[in-house]
Structure 1
């Protein structure tokens, strides 16, 4: 085999074959150049010691000192010695000006090191300059790699939508065998809360990593963090152990520290070990891993919070929010605690769309700290509202059309691609209800605002002009999934103690309550109940004004849909997605009877099946003005918050939808009775309650203001 064959195998990512070819070429080619290639191969295989050994031999044979020094800088970056890598690679730049390919190598390596050191503008400049050089050289795949690396910078900055967009932009130019691209993309999806999608990418990456122990170890570590986020502690622990072993064999101290941090988070019994590992993470540039480990460990050793206070001025929004959370927990006065919680929530509110899944979790933790410091029910209500963050899709019609086409053609790969493109196009709204405005608007109704404080459920109620707070005890999240079966037990815990009387109810659920079937609870039976994502959203819904028309639509392959639509007594509309949306814009009452699909892994892509394909929650963002009342006679779509969130954001009053599978024959009588009550001038929540009292609840709730 020749040196050329070795280089071609490197380009293909076939490092075992490249190693064999390079070793065989030692006797036939320039030994210095071959040794340099061997050093590169050993680095890619996860053997930094072997890389250093081959570099020494390459220098003995008179290889280019600048190239050898550049590769040594890349080796330092691979083991996590980022400061040394930046110094070494910066020093060799001038010597590589006449060697553009290796200059781009140095720029990319320095960009990666700066990225891990959170010197993010400088890292981005390095990748942009490398891309310019590689474009001139015609190396288009490596240009795509630079775009991908700019996504890595955005990910380090906590800007998840930009990271996902850059990874997507780069994906067409990077060959399918580039596992590192899949690993980085999976990390961004994980940060955005898309655990299942991240795990799927990592499963694709692992078989591509044969003979590349360094990248395999990184994929294993990422899989461990996926398992931790998903709550699978046992799997996270096993992946952490596997990553620890791989990184130790490779002698990569920065990554060993990151794997040790994950292992400790799965079984935190040794606080002193957590302190030591966090210090090692900080020493090797793993700042986020250190912060998250210390935050977990501080639950049993609060003094560790002093190590986190300084993150208030960090480069990323997540670290800044963690810093303010630490300061709030350390505060010795109510004034200082409140100020820190407000500052942390300001950071989260400003960057919620970029922060992804972690934004709501940190907001809830800050609110919990503030609530612990007060006994005033009005103040508790205010903090519960402040921590509520709603993510809304931003309309992008072309991608929705492409997604529908991919799904109808069974093209799963492109369907996933367009889903990911749509998911990063979100905006965050933070519409909390002022307690005095809510109290003035509530009238003779009874409002309950729930909040999960750790494992304990809190409630703030407003009724008869009074604001009260209630501690309702520990709540098992699993029970919420079986609320129809455990209705009496749940009712006794979360509603009976509140003293509702015979008043209408307004419920603001806590995070995790989307599966709860409110109509199944005895206290809700026969009672008008309105459910809203926040008190502010409920207030907005009370101001909704009538629309201009009414119509009903039947989706395909639903036996009783046509009969239901005929009997509800509204004009019948056409059932294609575009026609339904056009008729829906500015309408007064819209009724859709169709198959519904709830996506637990991606609730925003829950949908209704119309004649030409799915109507997604995302599609409602295309409306300038939502219908005043939207009735979705379909299975489970109420579990997808996106339908209610968009409807209320676009000026709607009420969404009628079910969080259970709905037998279509049984739904007909319920829906007909509901519309008869509406036509008689009955408010939506009471119209639904009266119909349910006769025909059963079927899981339907009124979202908004009834």
Structure 2
């Protein structure tokens, strides 16, 4: 008898632990099952088998869960323990539902409810609600869980109370009742903390992340998902639903590469676990692949998802899968989709409660009807889509305003259409203001593309130079304006960056090993995730409007502003000269982009010490032909005389080395991301004195010679050369410096531009390091290959070293947009600083140094061609 009591206690303890510490529960349950078998204790075995089944359920082993729980039901029935059998059926129903056997699950839960009373029946109702929730029957699920909670509270059953709160929060989320969902989750987390419930807390944190994602609170959502992952990791669990939720959030801010990898991991996890959620993960993968442009993968994933939803009779999700397939067809061959097909898809989605997809399908129907000249049909579709502009998530409201803009345009109300575009852009810009991480703010701009493009198109139709200028400025990326506030010194981030530098230095010294490479990847992910969890600076507008022409003209003086605008592979330019604004239609971009593709090869040949005379001559011919083409297409039609130039290039022209154009030879030219940033940079120039810093990084033969030559021109210069050029010392000396010159290797990271770096003595000095500077330097020279070239990440968005410095408040920079030869760069930079010391502006000093250096030909010509002046470069530096 005493042995049976011990076995019963062990089995009950295993069952208690199964939902919170499944691995430990398994060990205890196996031991209890063996002991119960030895004594013939069927009740003890039933409890032990149920504990094993629940633990397997938590660990996503559905086959074992179903087997164990069926055994638990059978043993309880043979013992005549009706209540025990009903409780085991409750758990079995959950396993069957997750395995896709909805009919069997409902039969089990119905039987359980007849067998159970009081708290046990309340637990069964919570499980019934979870099954209904999995099947999308939200109203029935809420009705089931609502009366169960008070019973569980009175019984003091904390585990099931937390489970009920978690489940109900998701049901509230389905209805977008955020306040009710948040109240349930915060209560659940408080209970978990108080009672040490690690796994239920992971579920609650994950659900809280979904809530915050639904409200557009991206940093807070990422933080919640990270906390959930930490709890799951402690329990050695891989949870597919967390991967799905994270992938959706990453896709919402257009981090497409990461979203795809995460969605693929979710598909693999669900396939391994044979979960009913597998087709949902496939559907998400289809969406990500479509955004990425991988049409075969998108179509196949959507096809499989549709087949699986149809087999499971999940009509509400089948509508989503059919919409995904229609989107693929729309991208592949727009003419193959009819307005009626898109309209039916929108109706199905709306009936299933999918707000944003229904809006997209309705917008698709309107566009297709317009294409076919069916104005009445188009009007009906666009009017219906535009009704969502005042409620729902930011993306949905912005899309609704796009529909409204298209409707007004179709009616001939161009000014009204522009007002609608502006309203949609304000919604997305306010959303960006909530994001603290530069990367998230940049990628979020992808949502702005259709609206901003329509604004530019409407302005070009109107033909007003000032309107085109205003909308071209609105189209420029969010990183083209300074961050509203600089982040405070972040010790945790600084420590991670220091460890990354140490890891990279070890790799360079001894070569990459699997362990070091893994450590580098891990550290970069931790740095990225840490910064993504940073909140934005507030809830107001994230960017000021375009500066007024009169204000620009007053600051330009004798200079001319040229803002280039691309639309449908055609190039336009807006010029501001002496207060007069003009619009120029420059024609197709084809010839310009062709020359841009050949230009790097020609400059590389000229820069190489091993290029033959014949090859160098051919490279000079290519360079001359390209320069003439650029001049003829980009500057000569503007008729600007010999004025100094402020150039705001369009997307295709960002890496153009402007000094090679005959019209730019010897002329002061400064390049800016936008007119707004140029004006802000002019305002930020200061007479406040500061030190001069000269840095020489490792691995460049002439870096120290270049740095010493520069330093001799400034008697108060701080020299950080060789081993002294460590990141902490460089950062401390850069803060508030009057002038900084860095001669170092530059690394442009296309996979993650925020890890683009200058190579210092103790490792890479990244964009993240620059964003930690307490005060911006006034003028920075980056004599490092590609340092002036950013990496496009989302349409008009560019991230890199120079955009980071401009965004942090540095008024002027000089840097190369292509690789440059070491020795000739030293000569060019010596001439450049001679010009600065003589009182010339950065743009004047660079133009003069380039003019002198390029006459030497070969590598010197390549070095001269590579550098551009950025920001407020037309005024002399203060001393």
TM-score in terms of structure 1 length: 0.91
Matched, 1:568 2:630: no
**Contact (CA 8 Å) 1:550, 1:590: kept in 2 or not?**
yes
- Please tell me the root mean square deviation across aligned C-alpha atoms, in Å: 2.9
Name 1:436's counterpart in structure 2: 550
Q: Secondary structure at the match of 1:503?
A: coil
Matches within 5 A, 1:482-493: 482=597, 484=599, 492-493=632-633
Once the two structures are superposed, residues 517-550 of structure 1 have per-residue CA deviations (whole angstroms, 9 ceiling, x without a partner) of 4445565455432111221111122231244221
SS in 2 for 1:639: coil
**Residue 95 of structure 2: aligned partner:** 41
- C-alpha separation between the residues in 1 aligned to 2:866 and 2:177? 52
Corresponding position of 2:374: none
User: Which digits, 9 at most, give the CA deviation of each residue in 1:456-509, with x for residues without a partner?
Assistant: 443222124321223445557986973735666565544444334433321223
Say whether 1:542 aligns with 2:682. yes
Instruction: Report the counterpart of residue 789 of structure 2 in structure 1.
Output: 639
C-alpha spacing 1:454/1:141, structure 2 compared with 1 (3 Å): farther
Q: In terms of mean alpha carbon deviation, does 96-105 or 528-537 score higher?
A: 96-105
Q: What is the aligned counterpart of 1:404 among 497, 503, 514?
A: 497
Structure 1 match to 2:573: 459
Of 502, 527, 550, the match for 1:418: 527
Residue equivalent to 1:182:
243
1:110 to 168, 171, 179: 168
Q: 1:555 touches 1:595 (CA, 8 Å); kept in 2? A: yes
Q: Out of 62-71 and 603-612, give the one that drifted further.
A: 62-71
Closer, same or farther in 2 for the Cα pair 1:277/1:105, shift >3 Å? Answer: farther
Matched, 1:502 2:667: no
Q: Equivalent of 1:151, from 203, 209, 214?
A: 209
Q: 1:162 to 1:60 in 2, by over 3 A?
A: same
The superposition leaves residues 412-439 of structure 1 with CA deviations (integer Å, 9 ceiling, x where unpaired) of 2243022122134356444632222112
Which is further off, 32-41 or 640-649?
Answer: 640-649
1-side partners of 2:789 and 2:276: how far apart? 42
* Aligned equivalent of 1:664, options 822, 826, 841: 822
The residue that corresponds to 2:845 in the other structure is 687
* The structure with more helix, counted as a fraction of residues: 2
Aligned to 2:432: 352
Q: What's 1:211 paired with?
A: 273
- Structure 1 runs not aligned, ≥5 long: none
Shift of 1:576: 1.7
- Following the alignment from structure 2 to structure 1, what is the Cα–Cα distance between the partners of residues 569 and 105? 50
Partners of 2:670 and 2:871 within 8 A in 1: yes
- Give the superposition deviation at 1:553: 0.3
CA distance in 2, matches of 1:413, 1:450: 40
Structure 1 residues 160 and 297, CA gap change in structure 2 (3 angstroms): farther
Q: Which runs of no fewer than 5 residues in structure 2 stay unpaired? A: 1-32, 34-48, 77-83, 331-336, 371-377, 435-440, 504-515, 601-625, 791-798, 855-859, 874-879
1:292-303 mapped onto 2 (5 Å cutoff)? 292-302=360-370, 303=378
Distance apart, 1:515 and its partner CA: 4.4
Q: Secondary structure at the match of 2:199?
A: helix
Q: Does 1:81 align with 2:132?
A: no
SS of the residue 2:777 aligns to? coil
**Shift in CA distance, 540/211, structure 1 to aligned 2, threshold 3 Å:** closer
Secondary structure at the aligned position of 1:121 is classed as helix
Alignment match, 2:348: 280
The change in CA–CA distance for 1:267 and 1:10 in structure 2 (over 3 A counts) is: same
> Are 1:339 and 2:419 an aligned pair?
yes
Alignment length (residue pairs): 706
- Aligned partner of 1:611 among 761, 777, 790: 761
SS at match of 1:637: coil
SS of equivalent to 1:186: helix
Is the 2:87–2:124 contact (alpha carbons within 8 Å) kept by the matching residues of 1? no
1:317 counterpart residue number? 394
1:337-361: per-residue Cα shift (whole Å, max 9, x none)?
3432332233233222447244442
Alignment map for 1:378-389 (pairs within 5 Å): 378-389=466-477
Matches within 5 A, 1:122-137: 122-137=180-195
Cα deviation, 1:195-236, whole Å, max 9, x if unaligned, reads 222223334434332133333323322222222222333332
Tell me the residue number matched to 1:627: 777
**What TM-score comes out, normalization by structure 2 length?**
0.74
The CA distance in 1 between the partners of 2:598 and 2:545, in whole Å, is 28
Question: What residue number does 1:196 align with?
Answer: 257
Give the Cα–Cα distance (whole angstroms) in 2 for the partners of residues 655 and 299 of structure 1.
44
Q: Find the partner of 1:13 among 60, 64, 70.
A: 60
More divergent stretch after superposition (360-369 vs 276-285) = 360-369
Aligned to 2:383: 306
Asked if 2 retains the 8 angstrom alpha-carbon contact of 1:321 and 1:362, the reply is no
* C-alpha distance 77-368 of structure 1, shift in aligned 2 (>3 A): farther
Deviation of the 1:40 alpha carbon: 0.8
Residues 103-159 of structure 1: per-residue CA shift (max 9 Å, x gap):
322322222222233222222222222223333442122213212211111111222
In 2: Cα distance, 1:554 partner to 1:252 partner: 64
In the alignment, is the contact (CA less than 8 A) between 2:549 and 2:579 conserved in 1?
A: no
Query: Is 2:291 aligned against 1:229?
Result: yes
Distance in structure 2 (CA, Å) of the matches to 1:399 and 1:431? 35
Q: Secondary structure at the match of 2:737?
A: coil
Secondary structure at the aligned position of 1:93 is classed as helix
